[in-house]
Amino acid sequence: MRTETNLARYVALASTLAAILSAFLMVVRPWYLRWGATEAESLRALPGDEIIPHAAGQETRAITIHAPAHQVWPWVAQLGQDRAGFYSFDLLENLVGCEMPATDVLDARQQSWRLGDRLWMYPPRKAGGAGFATLRAYVPGRVLGFGTRLFGTPLGAGDNGSWSFVLEPQGASATRLLVRGRSAPGRSLVGTAFDRMVFEPAHFVMERRMLIAIKELAEGGARRRANNHVLVVLWTIAFALFGTAIVMAITGRRGWRPLLGVVSAAAVFQVLTLGQPAAAVGAVLTMAAAAMLWWPQPRSA
């Protein structure tokens, strides 16, 4: 009887995880591949596409900034680890050794580019000097297009990916900022799985925050750094809850309730990382996921 009960738990847990993965691939992934972009924007050609002319994969994200393009461009032009950073979750970036700057000021000395220049994403002295992309397409004030190497590509290999920033004026007082990533064909099955399950969502998390920060800065505001730091802490807690719920489901603690904990923790983790709500909202969601696991059960008569 115990063996049959254990088997039922394992099957239920596997089915739950499969359902979560299916929802992620069929609903969440298509959403973040074109976050903020219209269907027309995601389908039409953009400057920088020529870096990878026959792409196997493409993502397009966009944001409207209520400032003229000449006010937006300086913030985009000084992207880079050796410039002004990426205006993203710098706490998380620095935890993995990126040593990102923490200043949100314009500096004309950091805004000049020439074809062939490197966009550093990791300090040049680390990782064998491999943490960079190369400027391949450049229109001053409008376009920065970089050739990249997908994860696992040798340093001496050519570009097999691209990352392009395109500014499109919307009248005299607004700008559409589009960011497009493209990947070349030829990835292995393992490489493709890694891209879809790890790199793509992680890249979106950082890129979304970057786009919002550029909007905030170009419109004269400030980045919400404190909110960002709290969100990173909440991500960690939500992920820990997810792992704890899986262990509880395997061991059979608290009956079938941990399966609901697996679902709720997975949902909260995705909302916190991909949706990036206000810290207060994130805290409430995280506490709700924890309550799903440990809220006292009513005693039966």
pLDDT tens for 166-207 read 999 999 999 999 999 999 998 888 888 998 999 999 999 999
Query: For residue range 216-266, what is the model confidence (pLDDT) as tens digits?
Result: 999 999 888 889 999 999 999 999 999 999 999 888 766 678 899 999 999
**Does 43 reside within a domain?**
yes
Residues 109 and 159 in one domain: yes
Residues 164 and 19 in one domain: no
The residue among 200, 223, 246 that closes a domain is 223
| Backbone angle region of 20, left / alpha / beta, with phi > 0 → left and psi within -120 to 50 → alpha | alpha
Q: Domain range for residue 97?
A: 35-223
- What is the tally of structural domains in the chain? 2
Residues 54 and 9 in one domain: no
How far is residue 188's CA from residue 224's CA, in Å, rounded to a whole number?
A: 39
> How far is residue 105 CA from its own chain's centroid?
24
Could you tell me if 285 and 271 are in contact, meaning their C-beta atoms sit under 8 angstroms apart? yes
Residues 129 and 265 in one domain: no
Could you tell me if 93 and 213 are in contact, meaning their C-beta atoms sit under 8 angstroms apart? no
Residues 155 and 122 in one domain: yes
Residues 217 and 239 in one domain: no
Position with higher pLDDT, 35 vs 155? 35
Cβ neighbours, 10 Å, residue 241: 23
What pLDDT score does 114 carry?
Answer: 97
Residues 106 and 132 in one domain: yes
**Does 300 reside within a domain?**
no
Position with higher pLDDT, 216 vs 9? 216
Token duo for residue 3: 């063996």
Residues 206 and 234 in one domain: no
Could you tell me if 274 and 28 are in contact, meaning their C-beta atoms sit under 8 angstroms apart? yes
DSSP 8-state class, residue 80: B
* Percentage of the residues of the chain whose pLDDT score is greater than 90: 75
What pLDDT score does 4 carry?
Answer: 56
Residues 255 and 290 in one domain: yes
What pLDDT score does 3 carry?
Answer: 64
What pLDDT score does 297 carry?
Answer: 60
Query: For residue range 26-36, what is the model confidence (pLDDT) as tens digits?
Result: 999 999 999 99
Residues facing 175 on adjacent strands:
65, 169
What pLDDT score does 13 carry?
Answer: 92
How far is residue 15's CA from residue 2's CA, in Å, rounded to a whole number?
A: 20
Please determine, for residue 300, whether its predicted confidence score (pLDDT) is greater than 60: no
How far is residue 89's CA from residue 79's CA, in Å, rounded to a whole number?
A: 14
The residue type at 16? T
Residues 107 and 158 in one domain: yes
Residues 142 and 215 in one domain: yes
Please determine, for residue 45, whether its predicted confidence score (pLDDT) is greater than 80: yes
- For the segment 100-129, the average pLDDT, to the nearest whole number, is 92
Question: Model confidence at 158, in pLDDT bands (50, 70, 90)?
Answer: confident
Question: Model confidence at 298, in pLDDT bands (50, 70, 90)?
Answer: low
Q: What is the CA radius of gyration of the chain?
A: 22
- For the segment 122-150, the average pLDDT, to the nearest whole number, is 93
Please determine, for residue 299, whether its predicted confidence score (pLDDT) is greater than 70: no
